[in-house]
Amino acid sequence: MAIPWPLCIRTMRHPFWRALAVSLLLALQACATGPAGPSADLARVRPVFTSDFESGGIGAIRALDPQETTWRLSLKNDNDDPGLPASFRTWFYVKVANVSPDRPLTLEFDGFGSRYPVMPVYSYDGVQWTHFRDDEINWQGCRGQALANCRAPIRKAFAGPVSIARTFPYTTADLDAFLNRLAASPLVRRDTLGISPVYQKPITLLTLDDASLSIPGVPKRYVWLHARTHPGETGPSFVLEGLIPRVLADDAVGRSLRSRYIFKIVPMHNPDGVIAGNYRTTPASVNLEDSWRFDASGADVPGDAPAPYENQVGLRGGILPVLRAGGRFDIALNLHASNAAVDMPAFFIPHFGGEDEFGLAEQRLWRKQQHLVALTASYYEGQVTTENEDGGANFLNHFFPESWWWRSQQDRVNAITFETTYGKGGLDRWLTQDDLRRLGDALALAINDIGSASAACVLASVPLPGCEDVDVMPIAPASFPGPVPLAPMELAPLP
């Protein structure tokens, strides 16, 4: 009878023969089972990609090498809709797990619909975001209008599971966290204009008002702001995080603003698009920006399809009740972010012009808008400019918010689009969230100056120079040797 190998080995008394037998046994087992292939090791270190979370968005993903250390991640259209313009294909936000600091990855993003490079950001906790370094990304083939070969390889050894996005994400959860910090303030009222059609999220209207402050003989006027019509344009959310604390601050500027103005703010106009991970549209692939299809009174345009729900509740629940109650809006800001050259600063898009070819009301609006631009720039460390130097009336051929404001209110309301950018914005660094908050702070300071000049004209016993164009009274530009400090936020702590 044959003796089993383990028993045979145990019966060997001499250590040499026992060690030799063990070595032979291991060799025979290896021959029987074959060499250990790389599949187990690869499975252990193969990155795991996901975009199945709020604002997540990425298209096809595939490995480009057998070792699975180089991957191609292709951007996708909003809602995977091939009928949308290529320029809408800009957003990406993906999480990568199963990574090792000893195993650098190359992640090659392609499918871009914009030729302008940006510096993506990454985060290990979803809270603190950091730009990649210049030596970690290499934009290739993105010059000119042909984008088929445009790609952005990123090479980095990640310390652990990581989130990567085109720019700083700002989700409905981020908005809720910010609004919760405002909840304890008696100066803030939070209303719901409506519930978003797809994900049933509130479309929030904030009212900032201080009933204890006023200027005798000067009725308070209103300022309207709305943001995130295009869901992937997250910069305006940080602008509002800078503007709102300045309005609420218990200091001279905050009290001045609240004595002159009531602010009406829609901080997230398109929450469904934000959740869906879109850059520019709703989940139904509707671009809300060019869909303010209302006549001057706010009624549906005869013979045209009704405006999207989000626009209906914004106008009819936020703007028209003020106008019908006899209130007056001074300023209406449509907040966006723009794909632009790296050094392009934030910019306004003015309308009409100051030349004689335009009517008097058109010229007055132009001057008001140029004044707002100059004031905002004077309070900001970076640069602020205008994108359309020549103005013009082309916006009247569209259904933009400013188009409706002009049809309804003419030059009584300084209605204008304000665009942040994704690059350096006139600074020597890539823009951070705090840079964008400082921009919102500068915007609030500019609005305060406009309100102060307006009140002075109202109260003057004799006509003051410039009061015929109250919003263009000259104010010397400020000088800033360093970053403008953010307004203090003495509000409830985060839960």
Position 23 scores a pLDDT of: 54
**Mean pLDDT in residue range 152-175:** 98
Q: Which tens digit of pLDDT belongs to each residue from 60-72?
A: 999 999 999 999 9
What's the pLDDT at 18?
Answer: 53
pLDDT the model gives residue 145: 62
* pLDDT of 484 strictly over 90: no
If you ran DSSP here, which 8-state letter would residue 492 be given?
P
pLDDT in tens, 75-95: 999 999 999 999 999 999 999
* Mean pLDDT score, 470-492: 39
Residue 26 has pLDDT above 80, yes or no: no
pLDDT of residue 241: 98
**Amino acid in position 248:** L
Position 181: which residue type? R
Residue 107 has what pLDDT? 98
Interatomic CA distance for residues 18 and 401, integer angstroms: 88
The pLDDT tens digits for 402-411 are 999 999 999 9
- What is the pLDDT, as a whole number, of residue 388? 73
Residues 117-154 pLDDT 10s: 899 999 999 999 999 999 999 999 887 667 888 999 99
Query: What are the beta bridge partners of residue 385?
Result: 347
Q: CA 445 to CA 256: how far, in whole Å?
A: 10
DSSP state of 197: T
The tokens for 454 are 């307006």
Degrees, nearest 5: CA angle 317-171-73:
130
The pLDDT of residue 149 is: 87
51 within 8 A of 112, measured Cβ to Cβ: no
Tens of pLDDT along 186-213?
999 999 999 999 999 999 999 999 999 9
Report whether 234 contacts 185 (CB < 8 A): no
What is the spatial order of strands in the sheet that 70-74 belongs to?
A: 61-63, 70-74, 105-110, 151-156
Residue 481 is predicted with a pLDDT of 34
Question: Which pLDDT band, with edges at 50, 70 and 90, does 21 fall under?
Answer: low
Q: What is the DSSP letter of 182?
A: H
**Mean pLDDT throughout 284-302?**
95
Q: Are strands 93-97 and 48-50 parallel, antiparallel or unpaired?
A: antiparallel
Q: What is the pLDDT of residue 52?
A: 97
Name the residue with tokens 């869909």.
291
For a pLDDT cut of 70, what percent of the chain falls above it? Answer: 82
The residue-averaged pLDDT of 424-432 equals 94
Q: What's the N-to-C CA distance of the chain in angstroms?
A: 76
Would the CA dihedral through 246, 249, 253, 255 be positive or negative? positive
Q: What pLDDT score was predicted for residue 456?
A: 63
pLDDT digits (tens, 9 = 90+) for 223-277: 999 999 999 999 999 999 999 999 999 999 999 999 999 999 999 999 999 999 9
pTM (two decimals)? 0.86
* Residue 292 confidence (pLDDT): 97
Q: What is the mean pLDDT of the chain?
A: 87
pLDDT recorded at residue 361 = 93
Q: How confident is the model at residue 13 (pLDDT cuts 50, 70, 90)?
A: low
Is residue 396 helix, strand or coil? helix
Q: Which residue has the higher pLDDT, 30 or 205?
A: 205
Tokens for 22, please give them. Answer: 């063990």
Q: Is the pLDDT of residue 313 over 60?
A: yes
CA atoms within 13 A on the CB side of 103: 16
**DSSP, residue by residue, 22-35:** HHHHHHHHHHHH--
Residue 105 pairs with which residues in a beta bridge? 156
Element at 436 (helix H, strand E): helix 433-459
243/238 Cα distance (integer angstroms): 9
Strands (E), 196-306: 202-208, 221-226, 261-266
Whether 328 has a pLDDT exceeding 60, the answer reads yes
Helix (H, G, I), strand (E, B) or coil at 88: helix
Whether 480 shows a pLDDT value over 60: the answer reads: no
Q: How confident is the model at residue 4 (pLDDT cuts 50, 70, 90)?
A: very low
Do residues 423 and 386 touch, judged by C-beta distance below 8 A? Answer: no
Contact criterion met (CB below 8 Å) for 179 and 190:
yes
Please choose, from the candidates 94, 129, 54, the residue with its C-alpha nearest in 3D space to the C-alpha of residue 433: 129
Confidence of residue 163 (pLDDT cuts 50, 70, 90): very high
Task: Note the pLDDT of residue 20.
Answer: 52
pLDDT of residue 143: 75
User: Does position 11 have pLDDT exceeding 90, yes or no?
Assistant: no
Q: Is the CB of residue 90 less than 8 Å from the CB of residue 135?
A: no
Buried b / exposed e along 271-292 (16+ C-beta atoms within 10 A) = bbbbbbbbbbbbbebbbbbebb
Position 439 confidence tier, pLDDT thresholds 50, 70, 90: very high
Per-residue burial over 64-95, b = 16 or more CB atoms within 10 Å of its CB, e = otherwise: eeeebbbbbbbbbbbbeeeebeeebbbbbbbb
pLDDT band at 363 (very low <50, low <70, confident <90, very high): very high
Give all strands (DSSP E) within 54-212, no chain letters: 61-63, 70-74, 93-97, 105-110, 121-123, 130-131, 151-156, 162-165, 188-195, 202-208
Two tokens, residue 425: 């914005």
User: In the predicted model, what is the mean pLDDT of residues 367-382?
Assistant: 94
Please report the pLDDT score of residue 197 as a whole number.
97
Sign, CA dihedral 66-68-70-73, equals: positive
Position 296 pLDDT exceeds 50: yes
Percent of the chain past pLDDT 90, that is, above it, reads 74
What token pair was written down for 144? 């000119």
Average pLDDT over residues 309-325: 97
